Amino acid sequence: MSGPMADSRRRGLWSPGALLAGLALLAAPFLVAGFLGEGATFRMAAAAMICAEGYTPFVGAALGTWLLLGMAVLGARRVAGANGPLTALRNHGARLWILYLLLITPFLLAWATDSSACIRGKAFFWQSVFIETFILAILAASYNLMFGFSGVLSFGHAAFFGLGAYGVGLLMKHAGMDLVPAMVITIVASAVLGLMVSGIALRVHGLYFAIFTLAMAEILHLLAANRIFVDLTGAEDGFTFAVPDWINAASNRMTFYYLSLGLLILTFAVIYRLIYSPSGRVLAAVRDNEQRAQMLGFNTFTYKTLAIVLAGALGTMAGILRGLLNKGASPNVLGVGFTVDPLLMTIIGGTGTFDGPIVGAFLLRLAEQLLRDTVVSLGPWQVNIGERWALLLGVLFIASVLIFPKGIIGSLRFRSKLSASREDETM
Amino acid sequence: MLPRYRRSLLISLAFLGGLAALDLILFPAGQVGVILLSGLYQGMLFFLVAAGLSIVFGLLDVLNMAQGSFFMLGAYLGFAVYGALPEGTPVTWRFLAALVAATVGGGLLGALVERSLIRPLYARPIFQIVLTLGLATVANEIVRAIYGPAGLIPITPPAALDTTISVLGGRFETYRLFIIGMGATLMALTLLLLHRTRLGIIIRAGVEDREMVEALGVPIGRVFTLTFALGCAIAALGGITAAPYIGAYPAMGDAFLLNAIIVVVLGGMSSFEGTAVASILVGLARASAEQVSLEYLGSPLLATVSILLIMILVLLVRPSGLFGSETS
Amino acid sequence: MNVAPLLATRNLSRHFGGLRAVDGVDLHIHAGTLHAIIGPNGAGKTTLLNMLSGALKPTGGRILFQGQDITGQPPHRIAHLGISRSFQITNLFPTLSVLEHARLAAQALGSDNLRLWRDFRKFDTYLKRAWEALGHVGLEGQAHIPASMLPHGDQRRLELATLLAQDPAVMLLDEPTAGLSAEQVPAFVDIIRAIAEEGDKTIVLVEHNMGVVMTLAQRITVMHQGRILAEGPPREIAANEAVQQAYLGQLYGDFADALGEAS
């Protein structure tokens, strides 16, 4: 028997050992610069180098990151066996390339716009576009976990997103909490909400569940926007709150960039491991044919709850980032927009794929910004593509549902699956 | 009448009576009339959006999340026609033209949507709903692109409808009475259609047992398209009827969609009669509750949240609603 | 028989409004036997199977397994008791591969279902059992094909493999040969016979194909309009006049032919 047993050790690159090795390697230079030898001068020199304009910081970052990623991949060899890095590269090659590009993006932007990555300017602005994209990607991935991988349709995902922003803001502003405790409590609250939603409503038919979630999110939206709580929440205008300096996107945007990128990678890893775990396999079965899964012996309620709670927690994490980024929260984070957007991103990108939601997020935010000022003439009309981007996406969404049900990533995968049967994809 | 029907009807009437009594206790006599009428007005607006939602769901098993968009498009289409007629056309003609244009336009658009977008997804019901969500977004964006996000200046209705009259001890706008009348008329007409015409019988039979109707050789595809178009036409007519009073703006469909969903769930997802009854009940309950909420809290929050909570309760405990059938 | 039945029902009923799909059925299935349930369409066979597997709750009566009352247990608990069921209409997981069906079925009865981080392929026990199950039905070659792409005959075999991977004490087979062509049936019968001959499984077989029933069954229960019409070894049933009357027309011919083959 070849096949499944032989490559069961293939995920070496993503094994905990390899990840730790890679992280340690990445952190080492900073530890050296910060604490050893001429500490302060080193730090200042490093900072000056990173924040300089032009291509020097870019080249340094590009080479350095390449080196580190390479070492991480090779380090995975020990855990994975001889099979390890090559097969891992084959499976995750494109993702590693994109990860690499994203790691050096702030410097790439600085070079491309001839500005600094650390102070106000073009590169600085584009960093925030990327940050917003990462936040949306986390939100979309969380929705995809629930809908694409587990088959649970929800119209209330904005509730989790808004809970993140409002939760962390309210706790820090009115309860005087520090950042980390506020984040932890907000995520716990999100898990509680997820458990409540599952416990109360999972036993009704899927469509009714979706309507339930719509109502629940709307109730939270109404509560947040209402004048009764204006002292707490600022009602329709929302409220602002102070964030610790190191995560203040106005001054330390690069830190925020790497934080949100790191959380996106974490989200990806969590979802990836879950889907390839025994529980993840059950989720796939529940999505495909819930009744049959029950007949096999699975209490499907448990697994759907798992998906909802985890998706909710990840969505809340995205919301927390959003609140921290804007240093505030307003009722629209609880609005239908943040339920429709993840659905849109998921479907266009590819339901039930790992990369789909991320691609969708890039299309939603990044592409929109890139095309902000592109004007196209259609007959007698001048169309500003960036302004009409939502319309274009809507049309793309409809086309995806009708013609490309697998989305962008799904369709690409399908074509390659037909040409070369890759065992790991057909599960 | 089925015993279940009779029971639900009695519950509804009891609720109605209780509500009226409560209002009489809580509010001065002059105000009660206005509250009840404005409740009826709200209810009729909800009905105009919910009617199509209910019939379409009953027969096609599709929850049309774009129903609010047809409501909105009806308003915009009607306004456009109103303004496009040549100078010197009397207001009454313009108004009638707007009403007709919106209804016909909504129906045609609905038929087009059903055939090209909804029908192909018959085998994937989840994606049907998802598609209608996308449609709602697209409709919203198209209107924004053409007219901007701010909304249009309301058209002037015929003079007869543009006044206020004294009724039941308070003053009430004639136009709102017109809306109530329009809603009631449509209610009656649709009931007539469903119970006295061949198409109506087919629709009702299809709601009960689609396979049987297909097996009897009825061209179910055409019936689907007609039904969908009917639902959209009613919503569009509702939109143009309401717009001179509430205005026409891109987001007008969204608020009404949620309320329409509430009404349909409470009344029974595939029961048209249930939707009709529930829309009146919900409208009246809202009007009363909003008054109470305003007096005690200073905002209608309590009313809106309560109605949502009641819907959630019904969803969980009795998903078939007041008049729906047990098996869905 | 003096030995207590492994699976039994006592006055089991299922009413749908006015329709009595199953009406006061007393069934006794003995361990290690292959017990067939036959009857014309609408006799209540599938409803009976639905109740035995937990997919449907009875409106009256009891179901006993190993002497314990399991009436009204949800389907996932019944699977854990050792009762597994295959379906007449294709009821598979469209996007999952053949191997994954069997592997999941095996995993379902294990204790690793709430592991959220380890790669599922590292759990060798389930993979091993899955390959064994595929081997029994001859589907090893199609292991990685998604179920939706299988031809009908292979889908029926996959139904069986999914069942086998759970190594159940009781197998409820709902018309396993449904939709198979005449050429495909004998191979299927051989598979079932091989399983029956291993001796440790109890098989409840609902079938329309009389040839299959006569060849495999050690005991036959005939249902008609929700009730048990007759019960006994194949020869007795074939000769039973009431049974013959219930099966007016076409099937009468099947009986005679099948009897001729079996003798």
Q: Specify the 3-state DSSP secondary structure of B150.
A: coil
CB within 8 Å: B137 and A210: no
Structure confidence by residue, pLDDT tens digits, B274-317? 999 999 999 998 888 888 888 777 778 888 888 899 899 888 88
| Contact status, residue A330 vs residue A238, Cβ threshold 8 Å | yes
For tokens 């919301």, the residue is A319
Residue C38 C-alpha, separation from nearest chain A C-alpha, in angstroms: 23
A398 touches chain B (CB under 8 A): yes
Looking at residue A4, its pLDDT comes to: 41
Looking at residue A377, its pLDDT comes to: 77
Residue B198: closest CA among B183, B216, B211, B184: B216
Instruction: Tell how many helices (H) and how many strands (E) occur in chain A.
Output: 18, 4
Helices (H), A11-82: 16-35, 39-51, 56-80
CB within 8 Å: B299 and A228: yes
CB within 8 Å: A215 and B297: no
Structure confidence by residue, pLDDT tens digits, A111-138? 888 888 788 888 889 999 999 999 999 9
Model pTM score: 0.89
Write out the DSSP string of B279-328: HHHHHHHHHHHHHHHHHHHSSTHHHHHHHHHHHHHHHHH-TTTTT--S--
State the Cα angle at C16 between C14 and C19, rounded to 5°: 95
CB within 8 Å: B129 and A153: yes
- Give the percent of chain B with pLDDT over 90: 41
Which chain A residues are Cβ-neighbours of C91 within 8 angstroms?
Answer: 289, 291-292
ipTM value for the complex? 0.91
What residues have CB less than 8 Å from C243, skipping those under 6 apart? C222, C229, C230, C237
Q: Supply C68's token pair.
A: 């314990």
Over residues C49-75, mean pLDDT: 92
Residue C262 has pLDDT above 60, yes or no: no
What residues have CB less than 8 Å from B3, skipping those under 6 apart? none
CB within 8 Å: B117 and A211: no
CA pair distance A211, A203, nearest whole angstrom: 13
CA pair distance A263, A256, nearest whole angstrom: 10
| Contact status, residue A128 vs residue A253, Cβ threshold 8 Å | yes
CA pair distance B56, A287, nearest whole angstrom: 26
User: Maximum CA pair distance of chain C?
Assistant: 62
Query: Which of B130, B290, B327 has the most A C-beta neighbours within 10 Å, making it the best mutation to test the interface with A?
Result: B130
CB within 8 Å: B141 and A394: yes
Over residues A267-286, mean pLDDT: 94
CA pair distance A89, A95, nearest whole angstrom: 9
Q: Is residue C225 part of a domain?
A: no
Q: Kindly report the backbone phi and psi dihedral angles of residue C219, in degrees, each rounded to the nearest multiple of 5, phi listed first.
A: -145, 140
Q: Is residue C230 part of a domain?
A: no
Residue A149: closest CA among A279, A263, A260: A279
For tokens 């703006």, the residue is B249
Over residues A366-393, mean pLDDT: 82
Residue C104: closest CA among C182, C37, C165: C165
Q: Is residue C201 part of a domain?
A: no
CA pair distance A149, A338, nearest whole angstrom: 20
Instruction: Tell how many helices (H) and how many strands (E) occur in chain C.
Output: 10, 10
Q: Identify the residue with better confidence: C254 or B50.
A: B50
According to CATH, the topology of domain A120-419 is ABC transporter involved in vitamin B12 uptake, BtuC (1.10.3470)
Give the domain ranges of chain A.
8-119, 120-419
CB within 8 Å: B133 and A340: yes
The whole domain housing C100 covers 92-167
Looking at residue B319, its pLDDT comes to: 81
CB within 8 Å: C75 and A295: yes
As beta bridge partners, residue C174 has C206
Residue A383 has pLDDT above 80, yes or no: no
Looking at residue C250, its pLDDT comes to: 45
In which band, very low, low, confident or very high, does the pLDDT at A422 lie, cut at 50, 70 and 90?
A: very low
Query: Number of structural domains, chain C?
Result: 1
Average pLDDT, chain A: 83
Residue A5 has pLDDT above 60, yes or no: no
State the Cα angle at C247 between C244 and C248, rounded to 5°: 95
CA B140 vs CA A153, B69, B78, B144: distances in Å: 23, 7, 16, 6
Distance between start and end Cα atoms, chain C: 24
Which chain B residues are Cβ-neighbours of A208 within 8 angstroms?
Answer: 265, 315, 319
CA pair distance C18, A213, nearest whole angstrom: 37
A193 touches chain B (CB under 8 A): no
CA C124 vs CA A8, B55, C136: distances in Å: 10, 53, 18
Average pLDDT, chain C: 87
Residue B131 C-alpha, separation from nearest chain A C-alpha, in angstroms: 6
- Give the percent of chain C with pLDDT over 90: 54
A210 touches chain B (CB under 8 A): yes
Q: Is residue C24 part of a domain?
A: no
Q: Specify the 3-state DSSP secondary structure of A329.
A: strand
Per-residue exposure over A266-302, b if at least 16 CB sit within 10 Å of its own CB, e if not: ebbebbbbbbbbbbbbbbbbbbbbbebbbbbbbbbbb
Looking at residue A65, its pLDDT comes to: 80
Structure confidence by residue, pLDDT tens digits, C97-146? 999 999 999 999 998 888 888 888 888 999 999 999 999 899 999 999 99
Q: Specify the 3-state DSSP secondary structure of C173.
A: strand
Residue C205 has pLDDT above 50, yes or no: yes
List the chains bordering chain C where 3 or more Cβ pairs fall under 8 Å: A
In which band, very low, low, confident or very high, does the pLDDT at A22 lie, cut at 50, 70 and 90?
A: low
Lowest-pLDDT range of A382-391, C15-24, C114-123? A382-391
β-pairing, C34-38 with C202-206?
parallel
Q: Is residue C153 part of a domain?
A: yes
Looking at residue A10, its pLDDT comes to: 43
Q: Is residue C75 part of a domain?
A: no
Over residues C50-64, mean pLDDT: 92
Which chain A residues are Cβ-neighbours of C120 within 8 angstroms?
Answer: 276-278, 280-281
Which chain C residues are Cβ-neighbours of A277 within 8 angstroms?
Answer: 115-120
Which chain A residues are Cβ-neighbours of C116 within 8 angstroms?
Answer: 273-274, 277, 279-280, 306
Q: Which of residues 340-369 of A touch B (CB under 8 A)?
A: 340, 343-344, 347
CA pair distance A155, B155, nearest whole angstrom: 35
β-pairing, C83-86 with B164-167?
unpaired
What residues have CB less than 8 Å from C215, skipping those under 6 apart? C189, C193, C261, C262
Q: Is residue C120 part of a domain?
A: yes
Looking at residue A282, its pLDDT comes to: 95
Q: Which residues of B touch A (CB under 8 A)?
A: 63, 117, 120-121, 124, 126-127, 129-131, 133-135, 137-138, 141-142, 144-145, 254, 258, 261-262, 265, 297-299, 301, 304-305, 308-309, 311-312, 315-316, 319, 328
Looking at residue B188, its pLDDT comes to: 94
| Contact status, residue C25 vs residue C13, Cβ threshold 8 Å | yes
Query: Which of A207, A216, A348 has the most B C-beta neighbours within 10 Å, making it the best mutation to test the interface with B?
Result: A207
CA pair distance A294, A291, nearest whole angstrom: 5
Looking at residue A346, its pLDDT comes to: 93
Write out the DSSP string of C189-257: HHHHHHHHHTSS-EEEEE-S-HHHHHHH-SEEEEEETTEEEEEE-HHHHHH-HHHHHHT-THHHHHHHH
Residue B248 DSSP symbol: B
Residue B250 C-alpha, separation from nearest chain A C-alpha, in angstroms: 13
Q: Specify the 3-state DSSP secondary structure of B66.
A: coil
Closest-CA residue in chain B for A396?
A: B134
CA pair distance C196, B192, nearest whole angstrom: 63
Q: Which residues of A touch C (CB under 8 A)?
A: 1, 3-5, 7-8, 11, 273-274, 276-282, 284-285, 288-289, 291-300, 302, 306, 421, 423, 426-427
In which band, very low, low, confident or very high, does the pLDDT at A32 lie, cut at 50, 70 and 90?
A: low
Residue C206 C-alpha, separation from nearest chain A C-alpha, in angstroms: 18
List the chains bordering chain A where 3 or more Cβ pairs fall under 8 Å: B, C
Residue A37 has pLDDT above 70, yes or no: no
CA C252: distance to chain centroid? 24
CA C209: distance to chain centroid? 14
Looking at residue A75, its pLDDT comes to: 65
Residue A310 C-alpha, separation from nearest chain C C-alpha, in angstroms: 11
As beta bridge partners, residue C171 has C84, C203
Residue C258 DSSP symbol: H
Q: Is residue C79 part of a domain?
A: no
Residue C123 C-alpha, separation from nearest chain A C-alpha, in angstroms: 9
Residue B41: closest CA among B238, B245, B179, B171: B179
Structure confidence by residue, pLDDT tens digits, B93-145? 889 999 999 999 999 999 999 999 999 888 888 899 999 999 999 999 999 88
Beta-carbon pairs below 8 A across chains A and B: 96
Closest-CA residue in chain C for A12?
A: C119
CB within 8 Å: A402 and B121: yes
Which chain A residues are Cβ-neighbours of C145 within 8 angstroms?
Answer: 426
- Residue B177 half-sphere exposure toward CB, CA atoms < 13 A: 15
Looking at residue C34, its pLDDT comes to: 93
Residue A191 C-alpha, separation from nearest chain C C-alpha, in angstroms: 17
Q: Specify the 3-state DSSP secondary structure of B244.
A: helix
Which chain C residues are Cβ-neighbours of A298 within 8 angstroms?
Answer: 76, 108, 113
